Amino acid sequence: MECLTISNLCKTYIINKRQNNVLRNINLTIQSGEMVAVMGPSGSGKTTLLYTVSGMDEATAGKVDFFGKELTKLSANEMSDLRLQEMGFVFQQMYMLKNLSVYDNIILPAYQVAKGNKKQSREQIKERAKMLMQKLGISEVSDNAVTEVSGGQLQRACICRSLINQPKIIFADEPTGALNKQNSIDVMNELTRINEEGTSILLVTHDMKVASKCERILYIEDGDIRDEISLGKCHVGDNLPARERKLNDWLIKLGW
Ligand SMILES: Nc1ncnc2c1ncn2[C@@H]1O[C@H](COP(=O)(O)OP(=O)(O)OP(=O)(O)O)[C@@H](O)[C@H]1O
Ligand SMILES: [Mg+2]
End-to-end CA gap in the chain? 32
* Least confident range of 108-122, 152-166, 174-188, 235-249: 108-122
User: Over the stretch 143-154, which tens digit does the pLDDT of each residue have?
Assistant: 999 999 988 888
pLDDT at res. 114: 67
Catalogue the long-range contacts made by 214-217 (C-beta closer than 8 Å, 24 or more residues apart).
Answer: 214/35, 214/36, 214/37, 215/34, 215/35, 215/36, 216/34, 216/35, 216/36, 216/37, 217/36, 217/37, 217/38, 217/39, 217/247, 217/250
Q: How many domains is the chain partitioned into structurally?
A: 1
Nearest residue (by CA) to ligand 1, atom 27, is 42
- Cα 46 to ligand 2 centroid, rounded to whole Å: 6
CATH value at residue 63: 3.40.50.300
* Helix (H/G/I), strand (E/B), else coil: 94: coil
**CA–CA separation, 178 and 159 (whole Å):** 13
Residue 218 has pLDDT above 90, yes or no: yes
Nearest residue (by CA) to ligand 1, atom 1, is 13
User: Over the stretch 135-182, which tens digit does the pLDDT of each residue have?
Assistant: 888 999 999 999 999 888 888 899 999 999 999 999 999 998 878 888
Does the reported pTM lie above 0.85?
Answer: yes
pLDDT band at 183 (very low <50, low <70, confident <90, very high): confident
The amino acid sitting at 17 is K
Query: Does residue 6 contact residue 202 with C-beta atoms inside 8 Å?
Result: no
pLDDT at res. 187: 84
Q: Which domain holds residue 151?
A: 2-253
Closest ligand 1 atom to 92 CA: 27
- CA torsion, points 130, 134, 136, 141, in degrees to nearest 10? 80
pLDDT band at 72 (very low <50, low <70, confident <90, very high): confident
Closest ligand 1 atom to 223 CA: 14
